[in-house]
A and B are shown apart, each in its own frame.
Chain A
């Protein structure tokens, strides 16, 4: 087990090092997130709809798109110079490979969200002061859900035609349950309800994460092996 995690970390570190050295993808994803938030500002009538009513939807639609953009590149970089074949012939279990990719994607999306959240607070004047910790918990749970399925699918779509279009079409239905639950929990938090009010949503969200984490861990090898 510790061996598995250590190898997974090796994969994740390789990806993250590439990411932080080139920075192009990360920077583009951050800018994209800021732009989506801006688009939302102009996509509503500020005199008719209070920002707070729309805030949970804005936050989660933005994060869903950001995750999608991030996941599209997850295996893209392994296509160059047949890097994926290199990974597959190395003495690395498929579980480690999946978990490594998962961790790298989680960090990538987390960085984007870490920039996106303050921008969201700034742009829409949302009072998150007292709920910032539980809100981060909700974001972590939902992001884990997005990325577990997304990592599995992004390994599949790179070898299909129209990969950039195929990922959103396949992935979006799978992001609906975490999206619905995260929006409900966020709305409760932002209207100053106690965390216990959202316990049901969070449990279902955690169940989603566990089910798809287990399923993806076992299904991943069918997407890369020959």
Chain B
């Protein structure tokens, strides 16, 4: 099976499972007492954020690996990951305000994590713009690797410098020192959704990777 078809079947599986996430989140998970149905968006928002962060982390990691090994596969992967990360961060940035309006009373606020994710999005866009603005593949790979590494270094600073203002965002409920404070059924839905979004990430990236391979071989043949 070709890489593109593999990617497509992973993506289709992911999309089918995503439908199950919807069903489970809406019909088989209890309604949160204080936030009501608005809380349901949490099962999409948080996993999308996770996929976007994963994408950025892998862009940074592949950038380092590319500069060390000069293996173009890492560059191709970083490019694919950035494209998919842009899509996931867009999902995160649109689902967030939809939830924030009824709960916080405002679409947007300059809280630490919101600012961080906004800049994550800007970084992805800048990264893709840079890739589009360099013609030579070798040069493009090096430039984007430099930007990818710098971007990874930048995110903690953005978070810290904005964190100095008081933050409004809900505090961590899963990844914190004590045990998760989410009821079992909600946690199960969330973890299921995490797995589905990770699968979707893999499916999308595989397809983008295969596409850039095809594009390169076309350029070589021409």
Chain A residues in contact with chain B, CB under 8 A? Answer: 149, 152-153, 156, 159-162, 166, 169-170, 173-174, 176-177, 180-181, 184, 200-201, 204, 207-208, 211-212, 215-216, 219, 222-223
Contact of B142 among A166, A208, A222 (CB under 8 A): A222
Dominant SS among interface residues on chain B: helix
Cβ of B160 < 8 Å from any Cβ of A?
Answer: yes
B213: min CB distance to chain A, Å: 24
Chain B contacts to A: CB under 8 angstroms: 67, 119, 122-123, 125-126, 129-130, 133-135, 139, 142-143, 145-147, 149-150, 153-154, 157-158, 160-162, 164
Q: List 11 A-B contacts (CB under 8 A).
A: A156-B146, A159-B134, A162-B133, A169-B129, A170-B147, A173-B123, A174-B154, A211-B153, A215-B153, A219-B67, A219-B150
Q: Is the CB of A160 within 8 A of B142?
A: no
Given contacts A173-B126, A177-B161, contact A166 B133 (CB under 8 A): yes
Partner of A176, one of B119, B125, B134, B135: B119
A173 and B145 within 8 A (CB): no
Q: Given A169-B126, A173-B119, does the pair A204, B153 have CB atoms closer than 8 Å?
A: no
* Contact across chains for B143 and A173 when beta carbons are under 8 A apart: no
* Interface hub of B122, B133, B147 (most chain A Cβ within 10 A): B133
- Give A84 Cβ to nearest chain B Cβ, in Å: 13
Residues of B near A173 (CB, < 8 A) are 119, 122-123, 126, 154, 158
Known: A169-B126, A222-B142. A152 touches B150 (CB 8 A): yes
**Judging by beta carbons under 8 Å apart, are B134 and A160 in contact?**
yes
Pair B158/A176 contact, Cβ less than 8 Å: yes
Verify B67–A170 contact, CB threshold 8 A. Answer: no
Residues of B within 8 A of A176 (CB): 119, 158, 161
Cβ B157 vs Cβ A177 within 8 A: yes
Q: Which listed residue (B119, B133, B146, B158) contacts A222, Cβ 8 A?
A: B146
Query: Residue of B at shortest CB range from A162?
Result: B133
